[in-house]
Amino acid sequence: MSKPNIIWFVVDQMRGQAMGVNGDPNVFTPNLDNMSIAGTNFPNAVSGYPLCCPFRGSMFTGKYAHNHSVKLHEDRLDPTYETVTDVFNAHDYETIYLGKWHVAGIKESDGRAALQTVPREDRGRFDTWLGYDNNNSQWDCYVHGHEGEQEISHYRLPGYETDCLTDIALERIHARKDSDKPFFMVVSVQPPHTPPLAPAENRNYQAQHLTLRPNVPAKCETRARFNLSGYYAQIENIDANVERLIEGLRAEEMLDDTHVMFFSDHGDQMGSHGRFGKCVPHEESVKVPFMIGGGIPMAYDGQQSGNKPCLINHVDIAPTTLGLCGIDAPAGMEGFDYSHRRTGKNLQQRMQQEPESAYLELIGDRETSYAWRCVITCDGWKYACVRNGDWLMFNLNEDPYEETNLAFHTGYREKRQQLKALLQQWRDSTGDDFPLPAE
């Protein structure tokens, strides 16, 4: 096949630390660990907007949330935006979407989103779209959509969501075995999002035996242990389904033609710093897993990168995906193409061009103060501010669990000024209007 296939396996709320290869002492992820070894792992990947809907808007458009229409939870992605799907359609790819969508603008306050119909014009112009806008019940999941011109009515998946969506993906892969047309497929699953439900065969994590991160305060330990026991079970199930997908491609002799990209939209605090959930710039919320595997062999020895850290961000997903296929990203996409980290093409030159930092944001309700901007550098510094006020600053090399906030430490005034200046450069270059604090 002249053009490679692409599969995005997207999970929801899985923090980047929650894999064996990335240092978690509890979770069993042998297949993801193998993907990181045989493929390319990005252990410093970040979510530039740690909230489901805005992240997904950026995932499709390659734009920062302040430059597209999904600025808040449950906002609608304007269907006039050019997306990565449009580019693949224009290059004669078959485009397939399966699972969670969450950019149709459907409000849970209007009734259960999983049972509402996403209008055809809001399905992102995929050839096949079989999914739901949002659903937080992994054993009671409904999908609907279309295949070509045929509409598919709502029906209930017969089992656990991740298992069933992987089943559908495998059926689609098998159906196209003899096709000469490459495909772009998205498998988007809700787990390991709360509630922490998982198949019984994966629930082998005893809460009292788990090793918690040292930044989980004693008052949060009981809840954190219970939630993590289910969270890890969900991740173990995800890991098993990634293996099923890889082996399915292998059985159809399609693995050598396919890039499999595995990533999450954001993480979960799980008690760290006394918090649960996402939406904050702490490592547990903004660090995400990101790997590129599959059977396409790397054209170089991966060690040539020298393990130089790179902060692949949400806006980089679309350009990187297109780069893997030898397709130029549209001018409107604001992210960086990191495909050289997988293919080795112009590796040393491209690594020199990589951004040395990443820009993160939470836009929030403009009537409140709950909004922030953040910059993280490749050399291990993080600075975050709220409107007109300093908030957080950490030296991640010396303080990986972010237990010592240096934002108000007089001894780090010069470093704070440097990071604030860097944040202002990002703000200005991306057309943001967030009011930064004065020194």
51 is a domain residue: yes
Among candidate residues 353, 381, 401, the one where a domain is terminated: 353
Residues 147 and 278 in one domain: yes
List of E strands, 198-270: 258-264
Q: What is the mean pLDDT of residues 210-225?
A: 97
Residues 361 and 221 in one domain: no
435 is a domain residue: no
Question: Which percentage of the chain shows pLDDT scores above 90?
Answer: 91
Cβ contact 146:123 at 8 Å: yes
> Which string of DSSP letters, residue by residue, matches 159-199?
S-HHHHHHHHHHHHHHHTTT--S-EEEEEE--TTSSS----
439 is a domain residue: no
Tell me what pLDDT residue 108 has: 87
Q: How confident is the model at residue 366 (pLDDT cuts 50, 70, 90)?
A: low
279 is a domain residue: yes
Residues 405 and 340 in one domain: no
393 is a domain residue: yes
Q: How confident is the model at residue 302 (pLDDT cuts 50, 70, 90)?
A: low
Residues 316 and 367 in one domain: no
Q: What is the mean pLDDT of residues 286-312?
A: 79
Cβ contact 210:229 at 8 Å: yes
Q: How confident is the model at residue 308 (pLDDT cuts 50, 70, 90)?
A: confident
Residues 272 and 397 in one domain: no
What's the pTM? 0.96
- Structure tokens given for 289: 């897993």
Residues 187 and 151 in one domain: yes
Residues 386 and 288 in one domain: no
438 is a domain residue: no
Tell me what pLDDT residue 307 has: 67
Cβ contact 109:82 at 8 Å: no
Q: How confident is the model at residue 297 (pLDDT cuts 50, 70, 90)?
A: low
CATH of the domain at 412: 3.30.1120.10
Is the per-residue pLDDT at 51 higher than 90? yes
Residues 347 and 382 in one domain: no
CATH of the domain at 140: 3.40.720.10
Q: Which domain holds residue 412?
A: 357-429
Tell me what pLDDT residue 110 has: 84
Among candidate residues 306, 323, 353, the one where a domain is terminated: 353
The secondary structure of residue 329, as a DSSP letter, is: P
Residues 304 and 416 in one domain: no
pLDDT (tens digit per residue) in 63-91:
999 999 999 999 999 999 999 999 999 99
437 is a domain residue: no
Pairing label, strands 128-132, 94-100 = parallel
pLDDT (tens digit per residue) in 136-181:
999 999 999 999 999 999 999 999 999 999 999 999 999 988 888 9
Among candidate residues 327, 353, 379, the one where a domain is terminated: 353
Residues 174 and 221 in one domain: yes
Residues 403 and 304 in one domain: no
Residues 366 and 349 in one domain: no
Q: What is the mean pLDDT of residues 309-324?
A: 97
436 is a domain residue: no
* Residues in Cβ contact with 51 at an 8 Å cutoff, skipping those fewer than 6 apart: 73, 265, 266, 278, 279, 362
Total count of domains within the chain: 2
Q: What is the mean pLDDT of residues 325-331?
A: 96
